[in-house]
Chain A
Amino acid sequence: EVQLVESGGGLVQPGRSLRLSCAASGFTFGDYAMHWVRQAPGKGLEWVSGIRSNSGNTGYADSVKGRFTISRDNTKNTLYLQMHSLRGDDTALYYCAKDMGSTSLAPSLDFWGQGTLVTVSS
């Protein structure tokens, strides 16, 4: 059974940093692209970032480019999202999601975690 478990969320002050993790199990992690998607309170889904299976290519939403970095450790079956210079509009539930494929960043997200909440506030 595919499982994705996010962690690392919490309350953080504006301008500070936070690193999210996503522990994957139930599939061969290194064979698939992975993504982060967020949902701000009362809002819809927003794709944040994606990374190919071999870490060879990454992509970011305009709203986070230059502040967030996605990475993965295929030996630990873990996906990461390093977030810097956090702002109030980064407040959201952050989901980790598995892609159907491996070689393209274009997301078709067939399994999702339950999310980890990030609140940016002073």
Chain B
Amino acid sequence: DIQMTQSPSSLSASVGDRVTITCQASQVISKYVNWYQHKPGKAPKFLIYDASKLETGVPSRFSGSGSGTDFTLTISSLQPEDVATYYCQQYDDLPFTFGPGTSVDIK
């Protein structure tokens, strides 16, 4: 199975800061990574697919990059509504796996 790791596991940043979350796959998975945002008590929200394509309606301060085994989610200017846990997910091969999540809050 393909294992996905994320770092950091949690972070605290100020409003307006640039935030970067990394995700690493245990083997090469081309560009087959999605990113999701999950707030407590809410349904997860789809942010990015194919590693770097922004889902319709997602604010442009979110961006994704990477290919192969290393991927990044960037929030260019952190906003209070961005407090959430962020998950990467690979869809290169069964079973499809999520990373353990990165919790983001406001300092």
A residues near B, CB below 8 A? 37, 44-47, 50, 59-62, 95, 97, 100, 105-115
Contacts and interface: CB of A to CB of B under 8 A. Distances in A.
Contacts of A108: 34, 46, 49, 91
B59 interface: no
Contacts of B80: none
Nearest to A99: B91
A114 to B, nearest CB: 6
Nearest to A60: B95
B95 to A, nearest CB: 5
A108 B88 CA distance: 11
B98 A46 contact: yes
The 9 closest A-B pairs by CB, nearest first: A106-B91, A112-B43, A44-B101, A47-B96, A45-B98, A110-B46, A61-B95, A108-B49, A59-B94
A37 B49 CA distance: 17
Contacts of B49: 100, 108
B38 A45 contact: yes
Nearest to B42: A114
B38 to A, nearest CB: 7
